[in-house]
Structure 1
């Protein structure tokens, strides 16, 4: 083959690739632009600005846990809010905003997240999170409480139930589990075809290894945020509702971006190996509410149904069209369910 022809073919390939990349970039910008041009009723919402009385706790392995106490101190019952993987206590914005006038609230950043301190990789486990929650309850909850956990926060509550079952019924008067799982997360398809999902699962461990070894380099690429991150959060974290606020999506993306890559990598094995199905029987001793979006790809509806089967006394609420971040996507539904759960806990106390 002549040199001229070789160069011509190479140029055509490069040109086609460039055109494809440009088309993909234009499609991405178009998609983001369409979302951002929609009416945004939450544009003026003070996300990340709600604050309470700050408290620093120290765990048995020396990790500083940031917590905040909000609401009336003389409330008969405390609500403890446990956030999810790669998020922070600010992810409970709507619950804090709407419940703080009536109930005493405790929010806390799980180790390595938010304002809490980093821990050794070997201590980034679900069992360790359960011990941290026990500390929060012992130090910041003077009376009975209701525990609320989203995603990894729900797993934290399961770990507490396994390790400290005696707390449930006396100290813990109710539990709410939002968009979470008792195990088998390694089998998730994320809505992808079986073959694609298998390829993704094979690729993820290598990506996690890179994040652990080259975390600072990866984080520099994440610092500014980008359209890809925005779209990933929008379509993985939220459902089909056209009313999802771009401001809320940006708020979630900023929390994820603030989570160091090493932390994401350190907790990933714990999430994949998480298995607390046998611990769930403890929750039959207290009123339990399970809430999940019917379009949740990260902790699908079947995982909540499995929890409900293990806790037959629980009430399962499926939120139509919503996805993983139900507390931010449909706060009214979640808050109504939490108020009902709190009332049940207070009735049990009486």
Structure 2
């Protein structure tokens, strides 16, 4: 093939590729634009603006943990809220808004997340998170409490149950596990065909390695946020994506974007190797509520069913049409289940 012809073919390929990228970009912007033009019932919701009395705790390995005490300080029952991976205590916005009038609340940022200190080389295991939760309860909960965990926060509760089972039934009078798993996350398909899911799982460790080595550079690309991240979160985090508030999606995306890539990479192996199914029997000692979105791709319904099978006294609530961020997508349903749990805990305390 002549040099002129090769250049022509290469130019055609580059031109076609450029046209394809441009078309995809325009389509993406068009899709996001249409979403943002729809009525947004949450546009005036004060996401991230609720604040309580700030407290800083120091763990046994020297990490500063940010916590907030909110609600009725004189309430006989405290609710301890443990957030998920890449989020912060602000992810409990609707639960804080609904429960703060009648209960004492303790919200905390898991190590390296939110306003808690970020320390390189720190222990990012689920076992360490369980110890952190124990510290939060020891220092900030004077009486009985109910612990609530979403995603990684649920795993944190499981680790505490394994480490300090004597707390359950005594200090801890109830547990809620929301959109979480007791293990086998590495087998989750994300709703993809088996072959494609396998490819994704093979590719993720390499991506995590890049995030760990070049975190600062990666974070620069994440700082402004993108239409792609908006659409991806809307698809994976929420079930009934047609009705989800763009303001809510932006709020969640801002929490994820505020989590450094190095932190995301450091916690990822702990999530994949988490296995606490055989440690859940202790939860039979207290009222337990398991809540999961019907369309959760990240911690699928089968994982909550497995937890329910290991804790036969638990109540399983499946929320139709919702995904992994069920406490934000359908807060009324989640809050109703939590209030029933809290009522049961209070009755058993009498």
Q: TM-score, normalised by structure 1?
A: 0.99
Distance 2:28 2:106 in 1: 40
Give the equivalent residue in structure 2 for 1:152.
Answer: 152
Give the equivalent residue in structure 1 for 2:306.
Answer: 306
Query: Does the aligned pair in 2 maintain the 1:114–1:259 contact within 8 Å?
Result: yes
What pairs with 1:265-284 in structure 2 (closer than 5 Å)?
A: 265-284=265-284
Query: Does the aligned pair in 2 maintain the 1:146–1:175 contact within 8 Å?
Result: yes
Give the equivalent residue in structure 2 for 1:141.
Answer: 141
What pairs with 1:33-52 in structure 2 (closer than 5 Å)?
A: 33-52=33-52
Give the equivalent residue in structure 1 for 2:13.
Answer: 13
Shift of 1:19: 1.1
Distance 2:225 2:135 in 1: 35
Give the equivalent residue in structure 2 for 1:114.
Answer: 114
Task: Classify the secondary structure of the residue corresponding to 1:123.
Answer: coil
Query: Does the aligned pair in 2 maintain the 1:241–1:321 contact within 8 Å?
Result: no
Give the equivalent residue in structure 2 for 1:345.
Answer: 345
Distance 2:194 2:18 in 1: 30
Give the equivalent residue in structure 2 for 1:27.
Answer: 27
Query: Does the aligned pair in 2 maintain the 1:52–1:68 contact within 8 Å?
Result: yes
Distance 1:291 1:132 in 2: 23
Q: Provide the alpha-carbon RMSD of the alignment.
A: 0.8
Shift of 1:216: 0.2
Q: Which runs of 5+ in 1 are unaligned?
A: none
Give the equivalent residue in structure 2 for 1:223.
Answer: 223
Query: Does the aligned pair in 1 maintain the 2:63–2:111 contact within 8 Å?
Result: yes
Distance 2:56 2:4 in 1: 70
Distance 1:255 1:264 in 2: 12
After superposition, the C-alpha distances for 1:88-115 in whole angstroms (9 at most, x for unaligned) are: 0000000001110111100000000000
Residue 63 (str. 1) matches residue 73 (str. 2): no
Shift of 1:120: 4.3
After superposition, the C-alpha distances for 1:131-180 in whole angstroms (9 at most, x for unaligned) are: 00000001100100000000000000000000000000010000000000
Shift of 1:26: 1.4
Distance 2:100 2:73 in 1: 11
Shift of 1:3: 2.3
Judged with a 3 Å threshold, the aligned counterparts in structure 2 of structure 1 residues 140 and 22 are, in CA distance, closer, same or farther, namely same
Task: Classify the secondary structure of the residue corresponding to 1:128.
Answer: helix
Give the equivalent residue in structure 1 for 2:77.
Answer: 77
Shift of 1:240: 2.1
Residue 263 (str. 1) matches residue 263 (str. 2): yes
Shift of 1:2: 2.1
Distance 2:248 2:41 in 1: 10
What pairs with 1:278-297 in structure 2 (closer than 5 Å)?
A: 278-297=278-297
Distance 1:168 1:121 in 2: 32
After superposition, the C-alpha distances for 1:312-336 in whole angstroms (9 at most, x for unaligned) are: 1000000001000001000000100
Distance 1:220 1:139 in 2: 37
After superposition, the C-alpha distances for 1:21-78 in whole angstroms (9 at most, x for unaligned) are: 1111112112211211111011111111100000010100011100000111110100
Query: Does the aligned pair in 1 maintain the 2:235–2:241 contact within 8 Å?
Result: no
Distance 1:170 1:38 in 2: 49
